[in-house]
Structure 1
Amino acid sequence: MTIFSKIIKGEIPSYKIAENDQFFAFLDIFPMMEGHTLIIPKTETDKFFDVDDAYLAEWLLFARPIARAIEAVVPCNRVGISVMGLEVPHAHMHLVPINSADDLNFTRPKLKLQPEEFKAIQEKIMAEMERNA
């Protein structure tokens, strides 16, 4: 069982943004930028492109309102997507607010946010999603 499966089951706490039967979205605890969100499938699959076509399409459709909400509440030019899958053997998508291509450079130092900062951005993103539902 991966760390992401433990997060989905609630065995490890997270700052959940959204969830449905197939996917779970939560704030990255080692964010590149404030609002950096991970979206993971509830089915453990190691590689992003090993999921079937319909599931891949649903993944992007699940991500879209989250990305729009992040863009609305975090000062940025747009929300970038990154899929690397090197850190955890459970396919995952990063949604990162960006202003330049360098903002998706995962070798850069990560932000160190306090729990209250995570909670505040979580609440902003979720409130924006609710407003646009």
Structure 2
Amino acid sequence: MPTIFTRIITGEIPGEFCWKDDICVAFADINPITPGHVLLVPRREVENYWDAPSEELQHLIKVAQIIGRAQRQAFGSQRSCLSIAGFDVPHLHLHLIPANSMEDIKFAHAQPATPKDIATSMQALRQALAAQGYASEAGINA
């Protein structure tokens, strides 16, 4: 049975994306800790990072760096924090969270966001990615 992330990736369940390539996608967390919190997910279902092929994991880290830089630009955050927890969905995913303090990365602070707030934050992130030269991956027609 496909995971909820696979169902988002295939379009069966809607998602607000900021990155798509052949290996992975990034989309908004519907319960963000801070605005701009995204999940970076490989297209291929793999449950744990230690089960992912090294090349796939390296690609995820490369994309996480790119998105992290864009998060800092789009949201004015001091950091973009990365977490691989994996307790909620059995499909490898990296949390990328704009943050200004350790308080900003506590999962207990996650709250449902409105579709408008999610769309606004993802548009800002897509624009920052486009400014870095990743318009195609961000889904912006250059």
- TM-score scaled by length of structure 2: 0.88
Q: Please tell me the residue identity of whatever aligns with 1:126.
A: R
Distance 1:41 1:20 in 2: 10
Alpha-carbon distance between aligned partners in 2 of 1:8 and 1:90, rounded to the nearest angstrom: 12
Please state how far the C-alpha of 1:132 moved relative to its aligned partner: 1.1
Give yes or no for the alignment of 1:119 onto 2:119.
yes
Alignment partner, residue 131 of structure 2: 131
Amino acid at match of 1:41: P
C-alpha separation in 2, matches of 1:23 and 1:121: 20
Counterpart code for 1:116: K
Partners of 1:68 and 1:79 lie apart in 2 by 7
> Equivalent residue of 1:111, what SS?
coil
Structure 1's consecutive aligned runs of 4 or more residues displaced over 6 angstroms after TM superposition are: none
C-alpha contact (below 8 Å) 1:39/1:92 kept by paired residues: yes
Alpha-carbon shift at residue 102 of structure 1 (Å): 2.7
Greater shift in the superposed pair: 21-30 or 57-66: 57-66
Q: TM-score, normalised by structure 1?
A: 0.94
Q: Residue 97 of structure 1 aligns to a residue in which SS?
A: strand
Query: 2:69: which partner in 1?
Result: 68
Does the residue aligned with 1:68 lie in a helix, a strand or coil? helix
Segments of structure 2 that go 5 or more residues without pairing to the other structure are: 134-142
CA apart distance, 1:111: 2.9
Letter in 2 for 1:109: H
| Cα root mean square deviation, aligned | 1.1
CA deviation string 1:50-77 (max 9, x = no partner):
1121111111112222111111111321
CA distance in 1, matches of 2:112, 2:59: 32
Alignment of 1:1-133 (within 5 A): 1-106=2-107, 108-133=108-133
Report sequence identity in percent: 31
For 2:64, give the aligned amino acid.
Answer: A
Partner of 2:25: helix, strand, or coil?
Answer: strand
The alpha-carbon deviation at position 101 of structure 1 amounts to 1.9
Letter of the 1:98 partner, please give it: A
The runs of 5 or more residues in structure 1 that have no matched partner are none
1:129 and 1:79 mapped to 2: Cα distance?
A: 14
